[in-house]
Structure 1
Amino acid sequence: MKYEKYEIRDSVWGYISFNDMEKAIIDSPILQRLRRIKQLALTEMVYPGATNTRFEHSLGVMHLASRMYDNIVKKDKDIHILKKAGYLEEGDRTRQLIRLAALLHDIGHAPFSHSSESLMPTDSKTGEEYSHEDYTEAIIIGLLRKTIEENDLNNRKYNITADEIAGLITGNKKLLKDKIIWKKLLSGQLDADRGDYLLRDSYYTGVKYGVYDAERLIVSSVLGINPEAKGNDDYNSLAVGVEKGGWHVAESLIIARYMAFSQIVFHKTRVAYDYHLEEVMRSFLKEKFGKITFPLPTEKGIEEFLSLNDSTIWNYINENRKKDENCRAIIERDHIRSIDETPENPSDEDIDKIMGKTEILKSAGLFCHIAKSYKLWYEFGKSDSTEIIVFENYNNSKILSKYSKIVESLKDGTHQLRIYVKQKDREKAIKKTYNKK
């Protein structure tokens, strides 16, 4: 039986192809919901072009992840490794599994993406907050199971289960066994997720800091022995990394991420809108569900969760603009203003100065909000496999930080604090904190 191939024109990658199984998922209301969830929340209030959504990002990650996979398995030396490990026996099936996991990796996002993650509920068993990955898993093994497992192309050719897709996203080693190595293509420090959103966010904002050499990333991707398996020739302990000649592209992607976050996500005005948006969503959730957190990722809770998107919150903002201060602030662009900030890596003295100024403002009866911009740009783990691996050959490697002094210098990340006040109080607040009359 012949199956159709489809194409969609993407602003970043050009034409993205997909098959009948992928089309069925793309056309489902669950994935179509991502058209109504902005990738960058209210960043468009700073950069008017920043209207890209989780929908096109999901297509882009599927495209890039499969290109990275294709490049890895076509290399002679990698084929040798793959044959030894038995990976080539299910090559097409593995490729399809990676594409589906990449396509679905973001379906658990709440309205306005990461800007609302502080409103996730707490798991009563673990005491930890749920993440959007928990919602993604619940959606795949629940509402999407039938779409996945009863698809004709899947049944005739792949027999991929919903549990396998969810397992690749969450990192279920027990279920996926050797295939778990491909999780690095979806969520590592050099993955297709970052590879797509850096280029996409740069394109839509007009900020060029996130641009890197994507083609070089693709052709440099390689498999080798996991550094933790050195000495035992264990072909079942493989890892995804980059060739020695391509370590500069890995470095450039880390730098691009740092620069993009600094100029986009951590922009002082975007951070101000994040504050108003979070307050609005607290009010919305309290009014709709009786709690200031999203519904739990249960069968009932997931359906309630999926009924929410950016438009839902915008409707609430418009309806309450006259009685809710934060709704009004968003509509009228009367957002809180930053009057002072620490360096990206503040000293104890820097922090004490900022906190001292907040006490002065509070004593004067002025509204004051402390915003924390925190991010690690490169993860230095206890094991080599946590870091980006640079392979000199398939069983000889070093971690990226051993090659790059720039990456090594980013180990502290960003821990910036800013003081925000209401616009009407800005001049008064500045005079108070700078001891001016």
Structure 2
Amino acid sequence: MSQAYHAPMLTHPETSGVSMRTEVEGTVAEQASGRVVNDEIWGHIYFRSDMWDVIDTPEFQRLRELKQLGATYYVYPGATHNRFEHSLGVCHLGMEQALKFRAIQKELGLNTFDIKAIGYAGLCHDLGHGPFSHVFENEFLKRAYAQRAVSYRSHHEEHSVKIWHRLIDNNELDIEDAMIKRVSALIESGLDSSPLTGEKSFLGEIIANGRNSVDVDKIDYLKRDARNCNVSISCDLRRLIQHTKVIDNEICFRANNCNNLYQLFHDRGSMHDRVYTHKKGKAVEYMIVDALLAADRAKDYEYSNSITDMDEYLRLDDSLLRRIELERVDESDSHPEMKQAQEIIKRIRKRDLYRYIHEYIVPTRLMADYREVTAEDVVACQKADGSIPGGLRKTLW
């Protein structure tokens, strides 16, 4: 966890409301061309014209078609929010925190370039997501490449950077090379291979904190997800942003805010238990992946190969399931995979979901010998002797 500091946090007229906002609004003409969004979480938030230049592009507007929580919508009907509004929220919070640092810590030398870079990174950090939230990247692509015995490594942050570059080129945006490079580094700052270094590397912790994972991305999605799923969380998320300070090039939290930090992780754990890993939601996710795998084989691996072709990748969104469902199938076709995919989707529509059997927490001491559980293991585990092929046995604790 970040180190804590004990100095009192002083208020500053430039750290709130309009006074702080005008630091990056620029000229009167630029202010006139900006627009205000009435966000369900953060209220009225202002974006200047250069941010709208990015927002009003096909690459960014695609985020409207990607639900933030994917299959969770099948369990929580209110979870209709998408990555578009989340990205607006992250941009707003990120710039707000950067402006606070600029106002109260002049020694950091933050300038308009830094603030704008944070804004762009907040907007574009999720451009690389595929359909159905993390399911496409973490489940579908992983299994699709494993079935083909092809090595696979992919992070949506890397796709976000590629699409960020493409967005600029395709829409002929006048953004300098130094800004493009800085934003790319900020987007990837949460990865182990983060290219962000130097005296202002703490800026990477605002959007994607790879050191302790407390960042404005998490703050926005926790509050937004909880609201739309009608689940209560008790952490004062806004206070976490307000009571921070940069020490030794790291974002730190006031010592008396430790309980609030604890509550943040408690709330995140609660959201994982109640929402993100809900057993019915996971059942739908597994069924979506199985449908995608079957359809992918029927389409000569068009979907899994899309990560190497950004033109194809950007055509994918949450409508993919409906497209598969409506695909014409020739009954004489020698490749029945598309029909198989459609049958799985039909089961989802009729809520004939995969059955939940059991969950198993693998003790740390057994992780070295742990292997993937197969269908045969599940069946064998129900036998009286508890034997499992391969030498595994049921263990009681």
Aligning the two structures, in what range does the TM-score lie when normalised by the shorter sequence? 0.7 to 0.9
Asked if the contact 2:188–2:194 (Cα under 8 Å) also holds between the matched residues in 1, the reply is: no
TM-score, normalised on structure 2? 0.74
Asked if the contact 1:202–1:260 (Cα under 8 Å) also holds between the matched residues in 2, the reply is: yes
Name the amino acid aligned to 2:216.
A
Change in Cα spacing, 1:31 to 1:341, as seen in structure 2 (3 Å) is same
Change in Cα spacing, 1:204 to 1:346, as seen in structure 2 (3 Å) is farther
- For 2:116 and 2:262, the matched residues in 1 are separated by 29
- For 2:377 and 2:188, the matched residues in 1 are separated by 43
Change in Cα spacing, 1:193 to 1:344, as seen in structure 2 (3 Å) is farther
Residue 330 of structure 1 corresponds to which residue in structure 2? Answer: 348
Determine which of 13, 18, 30 is the counterpart of 2:59: 30
- For 1:214 and 1:37, the matched residues in 2 are separated by 25
Asked if the contact 1:141–1:163 (Cα under 8 Å) also holds between the matched residues in 2, the reply is: no
Deviation at 1:325, TM superposition (A): 2.9
Deviation at 1:173, TM superposition (A): 6.5
Residue 384 of structure 1 corresponds to which residue in structure 2? Answer: none
Deviation at 1:160, TM superposition (A): 5.1
Residue 413 of structure 1 corresponds to which residue in structure 2? Answer: none
- Structure with more strand by fraction: 1
% identity of equivalent residues: 27
- For 1:14 and 1:160, the matched residues in 2 are separated by 32
Q: Please tell me whether residue 103 in structure 1 is matched to residue 130 in structure 2.
A: no
Q: Please tell me whether residue 278 in structure 1 is matched to residue 289 in structure 2.
A: yes
Q: Please tell me whether residue 317 in structure 1 is matched to residue 325 in structure 2.
A: yes
- For 2:271 and 2:362, the matched residues in 1 are separated by 14
Residue 119 of structure 1 corresponds to which residue in structure 2? Answer: 140
Q: Please tell me whether residue 199 in structure 1 is matched to residue 218 in structure 2.
A: no
Asked if the contact 2:70–2:132 (Cα under 8 Å) also holds between the matched residues in 1, the reply is: yes
Determine which of 258, 263, 271 is the counterpart of 2:274: 263
Residue 251 of structure 2 corresponds to which residue in structure 1? Answer: 240
Name the amino acid aligned to 1:140.
W
Asked if the contact 1:50–1:205 (Cα under 8 Å) also holds between the matched residues in 2, the reply is: yes
Deviation at 1:5, TM superposition (A): 1.9
Asked if the contact 1:111–1:313 (Cα under 8 Å) also holds between the matched residues in 2, the reply is: no
Asked if the contact 1:186–1:193 (Cα under 8 Å) also holds between the matched residues in 2, the reply is: yes
Q: Please tell me whether residue 170 in structure 1 is matched to residue 197 in structure 2.
A: no
> Secondary structure of 1:31's partner?
helix
Moved more, 170-179 or 248-257: 170-179
Moved more, 269-278 or 113-122: 113-122
Deviation at 1:39, TM superposition (A): 0.8
Name the amino acid aligned to 1:249.
N
Deviation at 1:187, TM superposition (A): 1.0
Count of residues in Structure 1 that have an aligned counterpart in Structure 2 = 328
Residue 392 of structure 2 corresponds to which residue in structure 1? Answer: none
Change in Cα spacing, 1:186 to 1:277, as seen in structure 2 (3 Å) is same
1:15-94 equivalences under 5 Å are 15-75=44-104, 78-80=105-107, 82=108, 87-88=109-110, 91-94=111-114
> Secondary structure of 2:199's partner?
helix
- For 1:344 and 1:269, the matched residues in 2 are separated by 22
Q: Please tell me whether residue 218 in structure 1 is matched to residue 241 in structure 2.
A: yes
- For 2:278 and 2:195, the matched residues in 1 are separated by 41
Name the amino acid aligned to 2:273.
S
- For 1:116 and 1:175, the matched residues in 2 are separated by 27
Deviation at 1:251, TM superposition (A): 1.7
Question: Deviation above 4 Å: which 4+ runs of structure 1?
Answer: 172-176, 318-323, 343-348, 354-357, 361-364
- For 1:252 and 1:186, the matched residues in 2 are separated by 20
Determine which of 182, 189, 193 is the counterpart of 2:203: 182
Name the amino acid aligned to 2:353.
H
- For 1:135 and 1:281, the matched residues in 2 are separated by 20
Residue 360 of structure 1 corresponds to which residue in structure 2? Answer: 380
TM-score, normalised on structure 1? 0.68
Q: Please tell me whether residue 305 in structure 1 is matched to residue 313 in structure 2.
A: yes
Name the amino acid aligned to 1:177.
G
